[in-house]
Amino acid sequence: MNLTNGEVTRSNYGKNLFGRRLKVIISGSLIVFLFTTTCIIADFSGQSQVLKQKQQVAAKVSRIMALYNCDNLQIHAAIMNTFDPIFVAIIIGIESGYKTNAISPAGCRGLMQLSPDKLDDWTDISKNIHIGAAFLEEQLQRFGTVELAIAAYNAGPGSVNKYQGVPPYRETLGYLEKTRQLSAVHYPDLFSKTSSDLVITRYPLQHRLTFKRVLDWKNSLLQ
């Protein structure tokens, strides 16, 4: 069949139009594919970075525990579930030397040296650590600096308020010095941090209610 020049032109135009549309569709699909792939790679990279950071923190916690010959996996897991695992690991070392049955002359008990009458079971490793860590977090939020938070954990927030700073108690000053020595090796920038620098983890309501009882008990020691 012979085609006229007009018919040939229309046929070529149709083919060109189809070709252009096909290129647009292919290009669009390619852009979507590349964008999706980039997002997946970025998300995977972000997750990998978070996992790497968590592994580094876990390793530091293990090294601090090893200083006290402790390799208890339950203790490690509980510490890793606090607002700042390395910070908490240092405090536990100073408070109890990682002895779950530690009892102080003042009656404080367990890993984070809490009042036995304020806990259902002070030997419960996870609860003892989480309540102690939350109390420490509470002081950090209240006073704004790591130094004052540690002082409040040791001497009570009432003493920090009374002296408008670190109380001049020998025990508290020694406590801070021990914390500085440990953090110099395992957490060099700890004392330069403020409450806004640390990620605050929210704890279960029953623990939050216990924090208030622990706080009241700490303050009662000062009376």
140-161 tens-digit pLDDT: 999 999 999 999 999 999 999 9
Distance between CA atoms of residues 104 and 179, nearest Å: 18
Greater confidence (151 vs 204) lies with 151
Segment 176-184 long-range contacts (CB within 8 Å, at least 24 positions apart): 176/147, 176/150, 176/151, 178/94, 179/90, 179/91, 179/94, 179/150, 182/64, 182/90, 182/93, 182/94, 183/90
Residue 142 tokens read as: 């209240």
**Where does residue 4 rank: exposed (0-12), middle (13-18), buried (19+ CB within 10 A)?**
exposed
> Choosing from 95, 137, 147, 177, which is the catalytic residue?
95
pLDDT at 28: 57
Q: Are 118 and 214 in contact (CB under 8 A)?
A: yes
Higher pLDDT, 52 or 19: 52
- Determine if the pTM surpasses 0.75: no
Residue with tokens 């203790």: 75
147 classed as catalytic: no
- Asked if pLDDT for residue 42 goes beyond 90, the answer is no
Which tens digit of pLDDT belongs to each residue from 97-117?
999 999 888 888 899 998 776
